[in-house]
Chain A
Amino acid sequence: MTTATHVTDHAHDHHDHPSGIMRWVTATNHKDIGTLYLWFAFIMFLSGGVMALCIRLELFQPGLQYFRPELFNQFTTLHGLVMVFGAIMPAFTGLANWMLPLMLGAPDMAFARMNNWSFWLLPPAAALLMISFVVPGGAAAAGWTLYAPLATQMGVGMDLTIFAIHIMGISSIMGAINIIVTILNMRAPGMTLMKMPMFAWTSLITAYLLIAVMPVLAGAVTMVLTDRHFGTNFFNAAGGGDPVLYQHIFWFFGHPEVYIMALPAFGVVSQVIPTFSRKPLFGYHSMVYATASIAILSFMVWAHHMFAVGMPVTAQLFFMYATALIAVPTGVKVFNWIATMWKGAMTFETPMLFAIGFVCLFTMGGFSGVVLSIAAVDIQLQDTYYVVAHFHYVLVAGALFSLFAAVYYWLPKWTGHMYPEGRGKVHFWWSMIAFNVTFFPMHFLGLAGMPRRIPDYATQFTEFNTMATVGAFAFGIAQVYFLFFVLLPTIKGGQKAPQRPWEGGQTLEWEVPSPAPFHTWEEPPARELVDKLSAEQKLH
């Protein structure tokens, strides 16, 4: 989106790449690919958002007003899949593509052509998901978790969904490989692993998680596919299979997946908060260890999503304790961010606002997570709106807010223009309030006993549902405002951004001009520069 408008400024960059549409189709430049990823994610975010609004519209009042239950279930399923696999994951891969080479002092990602592939697999996968709405039987309606045997009952929409997941899985794995190799092999001289920006660390650990669990998900959906069409009985009791096995395999993927969406967010916030506090990140080392231990623990807690399936009591207890433990490293991170702010010299530009909003709301999501980790209480709250509230606090306020923080933070570097600060703040406060109006009441709904994934509800749930619907539409409008009043105007023009738009930025991306030229760090940054920046960040 960005360099496209500035090619004229950098005509000398132009000799080795095609222009027009072919520039994007054959893109191998990490900035172009990052841009493609980010736009793709934003479009998916809006599509998933429209589905969310359809869900909220139906739930505005009791009774079925607009959509049949079949269609409603398709919306909830596709909303989840599109947001997770189409919006959040590609957005973080896009950020990593754009920023990692800049922050590490590398000329590009390690495998440029594979990078092109991993992006261009995504649009066909998204198309498969969207097409599934119009095939006979409609889209998959088994929830984003695609639990068997409900998933084996579905029509051809489920097959399309499975193929889409396969394609997106391959794309993620290729993206992850690129990130790992780039980080391990292409850092500037003098930048040891322990001197990398935090965002690089979280991207690295996330990429490892992706490689470990995306194939497992691919395996699980492949088993559903063969159960559906080729007579296997992985999840069919009649043939000696077990439906609960699907849940074990799915959540073996699914819980690390939660951190795949959360860890890069931690990385972004760990860049933004020190910059605007004008103070180095507190406890860099413990941050790295906390991230790693969250990643490792995430493999040991999957069955906390399954407290109601009827596991032996020892399993309930093991998973309860393991899950509660994750609160510790997560808490360490929050404390570190606050200690970074402590006695800093803070200013509150939009990226900082979104980062602070992230810390507040993610912590709220953490609290409800602790409540849910206690198996006895979870039995009561499993599959209710309390869970819906919980994971939207960690995914919308967590992942999405950190993505907004990242976009505002790096927009000057991408476009060469400052975004309109006042409008950015409007976007933040509007999103913040609308988000809470939407999702806070859902805690009460869940406690009072409203199950999730239902198209209609008993009348005592009316007030909070109405409130949530009003909030959801306000939140949706806020994002449209962001597109038309912040994003597009900043790309088109606006105040010229200096090379260092933020006083406190001490990482390598601020050492290249704004907008970042098509090729950067073709000569790796000087050893002295890297050492100077590391010293400023107190990294040793």
Chain B
Amino acid sequence: MQAFQFRDAGTVAQTNSTPAAAGGRIVVGENMKNHRNKLLATLALFGASLSHAEYQLNFQQPATSIAQDVYSLHMTLLWICLVIFVIVFGVMFYSIFKHRKSTGHKPADFHESVTVEVVWTVIPLLIVVAMAWQATKVVINQKNTKGADVTVKVTGYQWKWGYDYLDEGFGFHSKLATPQTQYENFGKDSQQVEKKNENYLLEVDNAMVVPVGKKVRLLLTANDVIHSWWVPAFSTKQDAIPGFIRDTWFKADRVGVYRGQCAELCGKDHGFMPIVVNVVSDEDYKKWVSEQKKKAAESADDPNKKWELADLMKRGEKVYQDNCAVCHKPDGKGMGAFPALDGSKIAKGDRSAHVGIVLAGKNAMPGWSKTLSDTEIAAVITYERNAWGNKTGDVVQPSDIKAARK
């Protein structure tokens, strides 16, 4: 079974940079010790490699003990269902083939039997209670968030995730890294469609990083609507509810990159807010934490600093791509209800009107006064006034924004 890797099992997926060329990988069965499954899997692998398929028939390979429990539980359920299926439909199809009028079968006359009815009520009852009983332990375990080593607060936003490392005092946002041009194919013919990244739609700019083998407790909340944080390989799914906190936990067994997605419909870009968890060694984790702390200290901008146009443009482009490009598009041409900024009256006209709209929002556009710092707003406005065809030469300083907020 070791030979059959799951596509999303982190490091494995990374080593296979050309999945199509690597042939099909298919997953059947979970029980590593089960030789019959191994045989079946080999056959399936053979079949799949012929068709160069890249699909999977079961859960992703578990990376936590809970996920392993869920996997085994599911396999047990599957076998029970399969046995019942074979028995029940065996009887039914036997009857369908034997008791037909065309073969001259005469209808029998019975229409009830208390014994039979009691038997087929009691047996299923025992089976379902046994199934649920088996699951009880796992349910209790899933809910046990006590004794965590690391606590991370996860906040759902439309449409990105925020991670705050409460014990360490830093946090960051994590959003889709797949370029829009890869998934927006409207009106493109097959030649124009861009080649998709290997982890198309499952890659982010800043992954969540956690240490391997440590119990990570997640505190979840949301900033706008309900989201749901889900990493299949951990079997961890928890809704993030605005105004309330919920918690859940996972303890990853192996180093690797694990990918998931938002699982609760949260509006337009629900399908575009993936989750990436980078499980690293304790040592790497410590290194990463100290880097993040340093970065956090650096990014605390001095609001009174006087910026040069070029620096503001550089900073502004990043802010623009992170926050504005979803609607106004990376090229500033806008889309549908979202107006173009390239050549717009606002971006080329009165500065204070431009600042006002960015701070307060307008129609579908949210105000950014809370989300972005003075420096970021100054940078993005400077960028919008000088990028593309808008060569106004204006420089907006953070102090201007500070003044405008008053």
User: Which of the residues B8, B53, B111, B113 comes within 8 Å of A449, measured between beta carbons?
Assistant: B8
A371 to B84: give the CA distance in the assembly, Å: 13
Q: Is the CB of A150 within 8 A of B239?
A: no
User: Please, how many angstroms separate the alpha-carbon atoms of A424 and B324 in the complex?
Assistant: 56
A345 contacts the other chain (Cβ, under 8 Å)?
A: yes
Stretch touching chain B among A41-49, A110-118, A275-283, A406-414: A275-283
Looking at B77, B235, B270, the one whose CB has the most chain A CB atoms below 10 A away is B270
Q: What does the 1/0 interface line of B194-206 toward A look like (CB < 8 Å)?
A: 0010011110000
Complex contacts, A13 vs chain B, CB 8 Å: none
Residue of A nearest to B103 (CB): A345
Of A277, A316, A332, the residue contacting B121 (CB under 8 A) is: A332
Cβ contact of B226, chosen from A150, A325, A444, cutoff 8 A? A150
Q: Which residue of A lies closest to B235 (CB)?
A: A380
Partner of B111, one of A236, A281, A459: A281
Chain B 250-284, CB within 8 Å of chain A: the 1/0 string? 00000000001111111111111000000000000
CA distance A21 to B73 in the complex (A): 60
Q: State which of A61-69, A119-127, A179-187, A514-522 sits at the interface with chain B.
A: A61-69
* Interface contact A383-B96, CB-CB below 8 Å: no
B84 proximity list for chain A (CB < 8 A)? 367
Are A62 and B196 in contact, with the CB atoms below 8 A? yes
Number of interface residues of B (CB under 8 A): 102
Q: Is B290 close to A, CB under 8 A?
A: no
> Which of B19, B117, B268 is within 8 Å of A286, CB to CB?
B117
Give the tally of cross-chain contacts (CB within 8 A): 304
A342 and B58 contacting across the interface, CB-CB below 8 Å: no
- Contact indicator A377/B100 (Cβ below 8 Å): no
- Given known contacts A338-B92, A456-B271, A463 and B53 CB-to-CB distance under 8 angstroms: yes
Interchain CA distance A373-B102 in the complex, whole Å: 42
The verdict on B172 contacting chain A, using a C-beta distance below 8 Å, is no
Assess the A308–B125 pair: CB atoms within 8 A: no
| Distance in angstroms between the alpha carbons of A487 and B261 in the assembled complex | 45
Q: Are B243 and A367 in contact (CB under 8 A)?
A: no
Whether B186 lies near A310 (C-beta < 8 A) is no
Q: Name the residue of chain B whose CB is nearest to the CB of A72.
A: B271
Q: Which residues of B contact A464 (CB under 8 A)?
A: 55
User: Number of contacting residues on A, CB 8 A?
Assistant: 95
Closest residue to A336 on the B side, CB-wise?
A: B117
Q: Mark B205-243, 1 if CB is under 8 A from A, else 0.
A: 000000000000000100011101010100111110111
Q: Does B241 lie within 8 Å of A309, measured CB to CB?
A: yes
B288 at the A/B interface (Cβ < 8 Å)?
Answer: no
Contact B69 A376 (CB under 8 A): yes
A458 at the interface (CB under 8 A from B): yes
B-side contacts of A65, CB under 8 Å = 185-186
A524 close to B (CB within 8 Å) = no
Shortest CB-to-CB span from B112 to chain A, Å, is 5
Quick one: which of B117, B143, B247, B248 contacts A332, CB cutoff 8 A? B117
Minimum C-beta distance from A336 to chain B (A): 8
Best-buried of A237, A317, A459 by chain B (most CB within 10 Å) = A459
A280/B55 contact (C-beta < 8 A), A242-B244, A376-B135 known = no
**Interface check B105, CB cutoff 8 A:** yes
Residues of B within 8 A of A444 (CB): 55-58
Q: Which of B84-120 contact A (CB under 8 A)?
A: 84-85, 88-89, 91-92, 95-96, 99-102, 105-113, 116-117, 120
Binary CB contact string for chain A from 345 to 383 against chain B (1 if under 8 A, 0 otherwise) = 111100000001001100110010011011111011011
Q: How far is the CB of B83 from chain A (nearest CB, A)?
A: 11
In the assembled complex, the Cα of A370 lies from the Cα of B76 at a distance in Å of 12
Known: A149-B224, A321-B132, A383-B228. A458 touches B106 (CB 8 A): no
List residues of chain B with CB under 8 Å of any chain A CB: 7-8, 19, 53-60, 66-67, 69-70, 73-74, 77-78, 81, 84-85, 88-89, 91-92, 95-96, 99-102, 105-113, 116-117, 120-121, 124-125, 128-129, 131-132, 135-136, 138-140, 142-143, 182-186, 193, 196, 199-202, 220, 224-226, 228, 230, 232, 235-239, 241-244, 246-248, 260-272, 336
Q: List 9 A-B contacts (CB under 8 A).
A: A150-B226, A282-B110, A310-B239, A370-B77, A380-B74, A382-B237, A449-B8, A453-B271, A454-B271
Q: A343-B99, A343-B107 are in contact. List 9 more A-B contacts (CB 8 A).
A: A62-B196, A63-B196, A147-B265, A308-B238, A334-B88, A344-B107, A356-B92, A380-B74, A460-B7
